[in-house]
Amino acid sequence: MIVASTADEIRKQVREWRVSGLTVALVPTMGALHEGHLSLVRTASKVADKVVVSIFVNPTQFGPNEDFDRYPRTFDADLQQLSNLQCDAIYAPTASQMYKPGFQTSVELAHLPQHLCGLGRPVHFGGVALVVSKLFIACEPDFAVFGEKDFQQVRVIEQMVSDLDFAVKIVRSPTVREPDGLALSSRNRYLSQEQRAAAPVLYETLVSMAKSIEAGASDPKALIEHGIKLISAKGMEVEYLSIVDPIDLEDVELVTGPVRILVAARLGATRLIDNIAA
């Protein structure tokens, strides 16, 4: 497994593979790897011959009062976990390699970030779009795998790839959950025992809303009001619970076709997100 820390190094390696006729899939991560990330690596090894995992805690996608400083960094354990899978190279630049002094370029999308997580995290998706663009330019992958756990992020990336003509195919990988339904997240480790016991209510609520829709419920307002009650009853503060069009992420006024239900809520200082198709 090669560990590259500069764009030139990883690009050289990927170009060697591609010259030999091999395809390459990139899995962008911020490290602190768990089974959710590892499932993306497994997806990547199914779609391409070679797998590159990037590990980079990206400062530009964190707001000033967010958890950039305390975000878990577990590089040695991450390498250990990846060594058990088909991971052919790791790209792990430092922040100053990624953003050289005087850096001034941005990548902004006009509409998708104006919903859901983007409202409470105004700089987040610009930071994601910027770093993922840089990762695509450095790694030149044929495929890039993203988790549906971060549904708005996948949509932002898909739109950006289409808008900017990146020659990469985006592959969605399903959300990996604990046995009680809680979506795996690097931030779950912040939860106290009591908070951890309350957290599965997020997925339970999404499932119950999806079932109601399947059974014919079509009024988003009533579904959302009920869902907020269920989540709040467990001591969580709901940032949003929305039923949206799965492409443009606009709220739907009536459920008449496929929708996505997304939620963000806080348990103490920890912010959790989840989503489901309906």
Q: In the bound complex, what is the minimum distance in angstroms from residue 126's beta carbon to ligand AMP? A: 15
Q: Which of 17, 56, 99, 146 binds ligand AMP (CB under 6 A)?
A: 146
How many Å apart are CA 138 and CA 205, to the nearest integer? 40
| Active-site residue, selected from the candidate residues 34, 37, 124, 226 | 37
**How many C-beta atoms lie closer than 10 Å to residue 211's C-beta?**
11
Q: Which of 36, 113, 118, 200 binds ligand AMP (CB under 6 A)?
A: 36
| 28: three-class secondary structure by DSSP | strand
Largest CA distance in the chain: 57
Q: Which two tokens stand for residue 224?
A: 């959302």
Q: For residues 188 and 36, what is the distance between their CA atoms, to the nearest angstrom?
A: 12
87-120 burial, b at 16+ Cβ within 10 Å, e below that, comes to bbbbbbbeeeebbeeeeeeebebeebbebbbbee
CB under 6 A: which stretch of 17-25, 104-112, 177-185, 188-196 binds ligand AMP?
Answer: 177-185
Residue 144, token pair as written in the block: 């890039």
The size of the interface with ligand AMP (CB under 6 A), counted in residues, is 17
- Given 152, 159, 186, 205, the residue binding ligand AMP (CB under 6 A): 186
Angle, CA of 272, 273 and 278, to the nearest 5°: 150
Q: What is the spatial distance between Cα 217 and Cα 133, in angstroms, rounded to a whole number?
A: 40
Residue 30 near ligand AMP by CB under 6 A:
yes
User: By C-beta, is 109 or 171 nearer to ligand AMP?
Assistant: 171
Which residue of 118, 127, 141, 147 would you call a contact of ligand AMP, by CB under 6 A? Answer: 147
- Judged by CB under 6 A, does residue 40 bind ligand AMP? yes
Note whether 149 binds ligand AMP by CB under 6 A: yes
- Which one of residues 129, 176, 213, 278 is an interface residue with ligand AMP (CB under 6 A)? 176
Q: How far apart are CA 189 and CA 108, in angstroms?
A: 31
Tell me whether residue 34 is one of the annotated catalytic residues.
Answer: no
183 binds ligand AMP per the rule CB under 6 A: yes
Does 270 participate in binding ligand AMP (rule CB under 6 A)?
Answer: no
Q: Does residue 25 belong to the site contacting ligand AMP (CB under 6 A)? A: no
If one counts every other C-beta atom within 10 angstroms of the C-beta of residue 42, the result is: 14
Taking CB under 6 A as the rule, does residue 175 contact ligand AMP? yes
**Residues contributing to the site for ligand AMP (CB under 6 A):** 29-30, 36-37, 39-40, 146-147, 149-150, 173, 175-176, 183-186
List active site positions.
37
